[in-house]
A and B are shown apart, each in its own frame.
Chain A
Amino acid sequence: MSEHANNRITRIFEEHRQANTKALMPFVVGGHPTPDSLPTVIKAMDDAGADIIEIGFPFSDPIADGPVIAAAMHEALQNQVTPGKILESISAVRPHIKAGLVAMLSVSITDRLGRASFLDRAVNAGLDGVILPDLDPEQAPDVANLCDQRGLSLGLLVGPATTGSRLTSILDSCRGFVYLLARAGITGESKAAPEVEARVTELRKVTKLPIACGFGIGSPSQVEAVTKHADAAIVGSALVRRLQNTTDPASCASTFVQELRTGLAQPAR
């Protein structure tokens, strides 16, 4: 666990804790909207104040993703984007940014490449952590060990109905942060204000890890509703949808990240 003190994700959350501020975690699909846009989009979001950037690796069969992200992934795959190419993009931009970088991908991809070998490549490319939404819960402790050996964070999903011994065992295998689902269902924008207060309060009783909250969060007011309680807000589909409809991905991402940042809950006075 000592490795994690040096992990960038851990450091970023620690800085926010000390400053009593909250973090913004935008999500983009690697290789979308164009196969080469990732480095400039990441740089633009870093400049605009994104704390941690989540990079979704396109997958042919994404069961947790709604129509916007699924379509972006499909388009990237049509454009011959591969995990190898995304790792190259990440390693090109890593020296020029300060934000944390986390990969979100299916175990179908990590298992094809070999888990240890994929995580080695992730570290070499400059990634600070991984999120594996479809990891078999039985295997989470093994993957946590692999991440520990490499100083990577591991964000595991906690859902609205995750309780009891399953919650405890998931939290035991999380490294760096917990990924709290703001609601059941798939990724995608939602009109409703996310209600996470009760869930976050419960989690705080059983973990000291920072809590990042995603699914259905796409506006400054929703960012605010979430970060009143959680440590970070994750915004995916709302950003991916904007990137789908722009000719200038970098400035589009930058503008939206600045807008979302206005929603981050302010320190209590």
Chain B
Amino acid sequence: MTKFTPTQPDAAGRFGEFGGRYVPETLIPALEELNSAFQEALADEGFRSELDRLLQNYVGRVTPLTPCPQLSSSAGGATILLKREDLAHTGAHKINNTIGQTLLAKRMGKKRIIAETGAGQHGVATATACALFGLPCEVYMGAEDARRQRLNVFRMRILGATVHEVNSGSRTLKDATNEAMRDWMGSVGETHYILGSVVGPHPFPWIVREFQSVIGKECREQCLNERGRLPEAVVACVGGGSNAAGIFHPFLSDEKVRLIGVEAGGRGPEQGEHAAPLSHGSPGVLHGSRSFVLQDEWGQTADVHSCSAGLDYPGVGPEHAAWHAAERVEYSSVSDEAALEAMQLLARTEGILCALETAHAVSAALCLAAELGKGAELVINLSGRGDKDMTEVARLIEGIEL
């Protein structure tokens, strides 16, 4: 493989031909303000040390790197290791970004926070950070998602956030994102919008990846210190792609480390049956940036499906599109069924209940472990815990309502 140099977005916010700022002019001044503020914050040792302190004594970082002997032997090959983001506060990697962005919003003097959420994990992580910093928080959530994830809706309310159910369009994550952007169009002066993934207009994909790359930095160091070597492969699930971008980025220059992103294959490769734009989509514009998208022949966003609400999104981060085009990261997809099986296997062999999103990466890693063979090592980014999914899993595998 040729040497790949980690990318930063160019001045126009592009990773090669992907990225950019496809939003109405009303938002451009806010994006420019955010871009400058973020650059200044990154260069400010005070900001970085406050963030590090919070990540350590509030989020609970460093998260462990857990070897999985039983899962490895049932896969029959490479040693599988888990980067345990499920052990971060609130149960998923989303908190790394929301703590960072809320700290940034405070620094910018913003008085109010808004966010979109799909499964509710980013909403909960945003509500958590806002409670910690004493900022009012409003979360937009598709009415269909709110119905499927009532527990998370209630968690957000208990944390003091207001949840707006969105009844437009398909009433899921993409519509919640539209509604959050509409709010921001009219409130840009005093409101910061905490986007939850490496998507949206520049500088969001860059900001979210920077805050999430703590995962990969820790992981790479743990591999070297605890295993004495770098792994043969790193595997992560990809919806918008924040956990994958976070763990991949620090490994990009390690040309011998294969990086594998796993999309939601749903029920099959036909349009509408999956949520895998890098596997089955093509370049296009959605939610402020150019990336791979699932659209019909007229540019209308296609219907998507995944058993996992967190992967149920018709786009993907522009930096992933650039890594895909440069062939630095391999992207594949895993079906609903295979993900459900992998979730159960991991639970039974290692006593770790992962999120349905994460289970897609686990499934792909099981095949890869066999392919790599004994002596090899691979890391799965265990992006979140599975408690939130139990109602849906019970419905899918046993046909029962909890």
Query: Does A136 reach chain B (CB closer than 8 Å)?
Result: yes
Contacts known (A74-B168, A108-B286, A111-B290); A157 close to B24, Cβ less than 8 A: yes
**B residues within 8 A CB of A113?**
298-299
Q: Is the CB of A83 within 8 A of B298?
A: yes
- Cα A61 to Cα B28 in complex, Å, equals 19
- A137 engages B300 (CB within 8 Å): no
Confirm or deny: A159 has a beta carbon within 8 angstroms of a beta carbon on chain B.
Answer: yes
Give Cα A110 to B290, complex, Å: 13
Q: Mark B16-34, 1 if CB is under 8 A from A, else 0.
A: 0000111111101100000
Interface string of A63-106 (1 = CB under 8 A from B): 11111001100100100001110000000000000000000001
Contact B26 A109 (CB under 8 A): no
The reply to whether B299 and A63 form a contact with Cβ atoms under 8 Å apart is no
Q: Is the CB of B299 within 8 A of A111?
A: yes
Asked if B96 CB lies within 8 Å of chain A CBs, one says: no
Interface 0/1 of A149-162, CB less than 8 Å to B: 00000001111111
Flag whether A55 is at the interface (Cβ < 8 A): no
In the bound complex, what is the Cα–Cα distance between A244 and B175 (angstroms)?
A: 22
A62 part of interface (Cβ distance < 8 Å):
yes
> How large, as a class, is the contact surface on chain A?
35 or more
Q: Which of B12, B169, B284 contacts A112 (CB 8 A)?
A: B284
A141 adjacent to chain B (CB < 8 Å): no
Q: Is the CB of A112 within 8 A of B168?
A: no
User: How far does the Cβ of A75 sit from chain B's closest Cβ, in whole Å?
Assistant: 11
A60 is an interface residue with CB less than 8 A from chain B? yes
In chain A, residues 105-121, which have Cβ atoms closer than 8 Å to a Cβ of chain B? 106-113
Task: Check: B186 CB closer than 8 A to any chain A CB.
Answer: yes
Sampled A-B contacts (14; CB under 8 Å): A61-B301, A63-B181, A63-B182, A63-B185, A83-B299, A108-B299, A109-B298, A134-B288, A157-B24, A159-B29, A185-B185, A185-B186, A186-B185, A186-B186
Top 10 closest pairs, chain A to chain B, by CB: A185-B186, A112-B299, A109-B299, A157-B25, A60-B301, A63-B181, A136-B20, A60-B300, A138-B12, A108-B299
Q: Which residues of B contact A (CB under 8 A)?
A: 12, 20-26, 28-29, 168-169, 174-175, 178, 181-182, 185-186, 188-189, 284-288, 290, 295, 297-301
Besides A108-B299, A134-B22, A156-B25, 15 other CB < 8 A contacts? A61-B169, A63-B23, A63-B182, A64-B182, A109-B300, A110-B299, A112-B297, A112-B299, A134-B23, A159-B24, A159-B29, A162-B29, A181-B26, A184-B186, A185-B26
